[in-house]
Amino acid sequence: MFLLPTEEAHTMTDTTERKNPYRLPVDQLKAKSLELRRDIITMLVEAKSGHTGGPMGFADIAATLFFHELVYDPKNPKWPGRDMWFYSMGHMTPIHYSALAEAGYFPLKDLMKFRKLDGHLQGHPSSLDTPGVEVSSGSLGQGLSIAFGAAYGSRMDGHPRRVYALLSDGEHEEGSTWEAAMAAGHYQMDNLCAIVDYNNIQIDGHVEDIMGLAPLGDKYRAFRWNVIEIDGHDIAAILGALDQARRCKGRPTVVLARTVMGHPVSFMSDQFEWHGKPPKPEEGDKALAELGTTYAEWSGRLLNN
């Protein structure tokens, strides 16, 4: 699938019916995050390549965003009234794509072509290939700047859009992240919300061992941000933080979401080896058993939808 970039003028006045198409309650969001995790394991087993741990740990936040919070129309990805979200951490494609597919942007069976030549799901997201991907990413430290720009332009137009930057903790080692943080604080971008997947893991080990990041909240406060710290697996807390962010005026908000990489699969949890590798079939079977399904059942669900 090849999407031409949108060349038509954006009519920002069309803001009718600005709401999430699902608005699922907490218990159903929990069920949805379980489905997303099953998708992630299944598509990675099939792809034989890709990132497992981060996407698993981010599933509760992604479920909450896509099935309660974000304003979008999956049948009209460029709908001018939409919210915008940017996966600065491009390698999170397994959760990015599974949420897009479950939300209705493209068929679930496309997930089984992840990272394959005849599919449209690149290893790292490509906006010209995949509907629902606003911008290509994969080189870290750029998403907060993009989100800042989109938020700035939306505010110029008086557009009610909210803009979400989805960041990893490790990419705060990139200086450009801090350039963006400084600009967003300076320009008081209260339509901008950053969510940090704070699992304290990067490729080479624990973030604090690789490059000390703490106290991250204090750093953002010093950059004139509103800071909210939550358990990134507590859906009610995620909803509360997003609501609090929306009500905060005059400052951008960062949600520092404490997550466990690989959660809740026992042998993946908090294991940095699971950052960048896919499960082998037998590991996938074990993980899917812990998630209450089997590869046959779940790949069948994906392929038939």
Partner 1 sequence: MKKTREGFGRALAELGKTNPDVVVLVGDLTDSTMVSFFAKEFPDRFVEMGVAEQNMMTAAAGLSLVGKIPFLATYGAFATCRCADQIRVTVCYSDLNVKIGGAHGGISVGPDGATHQALEEFAMMRVLPNMKVIVPCDFEETRKATLAAAAVWGPVYLRFGREDVPVVTGAATPFEIGKGILLRDGDDVAIVACGVMVHEALQAAEALAARDIQARVINIHTIKPIDRNLLIQAAEDCGAVVTAEEHQIHGGLGSAVAEVLVRHCPVPMEFVAVEDRFGQSGKPAELMAAFGLTADHIVTATEKVLARKVARVY
Query: Contact residues for partner 1 (CB under 8 A)?
Result: 5, 7, 9-10, 12, 80, 84, 126-128, 134-139, 142, 145-154, 156-157, 159, 161, 175-176, 179-180, 182-183, 186
**Residue 12 Cβ, how far from partner 1 at the closest point, in Å?**
7
Please identify, using beta-carbon distances, which residue of 39 and 174 lies nearer to partner 1: 174
CB of 11 to partner 1, least distance (A): 9
Beta bridge partners of 197: 168, 257
* Neighbour-count burial for 176-211, b at 16+ CB within 10 Å, e otherwise: ebbebbebbbeeebbbbbbbbbbbbbbeeeebeebe
CB of 146 to partner 1, least distance (A): 4
Give the shortest CB-134-to-partner 1 separation in angstroms.
6
Three-class DSSP category at 275: coil
CB 139 within 8 A of CB 90: yes
Q: Output 154 or 293, the one with its CB closest to partner 1.
A: 154
Nearer to partner 1, 104 or 138 (CB): 138
Which of 150, 255 has the CB closer to partner 1? 150
* CB nearer partner 1, residue 9 or residue 117: 9
CB 255 within 8 A of CB 230: yes
Min dist. Cβ of residue 151 to partner 1 (A): 7
Q: Retrieve residue 225's tokens.
A: 């941000």
